[in-house]
Amino acid sequence: MYKRGSKHSLEERDQAVRQVIDQNQSIQWVAKNYETSRTTLKTWVRKYKVEGFDGLKESRMWKRYPTELKLEAVQDGPSSFAGCSQRYGISDESVLRL
């Protein structure tokens, strides 16, 4: 069974994001130092920029999005899943994937 949760504490996620944003460290370098993927770190940074520190907190529930919203996000124009999810306030780009 899938266990939801991060192996990184909230403080570690905050430190990693601040290294990228405040100290202009590269995503690749910070991800390697925190033993996480670049994609995960990019997601943390994106959520931090949108929601601040609260965006880094673990969600204890799955958020459901209407099918119409997901379709609108994808059909809106040429953009990455990450860009669409950010523009439409969707928690993660994986929500838009089939």
Q: What is the pLDDT of residues 30-39, one digit of tens each?
A: 999 999 999 9
- The answer to whether the CB of 89 falls within 8 A of the CB of 70 is no
pLDDT at 1 over 50: no
- The answer to whether the CB of 32 falls within 8 A of the CB of 26 is no
User: What percentage of the chain reaches a pLDDT higher than 90?
Assistant: 40
pLDDT at 85 over 60: yes
Mean pLDDT across 23-47: 94
Its sign, for the CA torsion 48, 53, 58, 61, is negative
Mean pLDDT across 21-29: 96
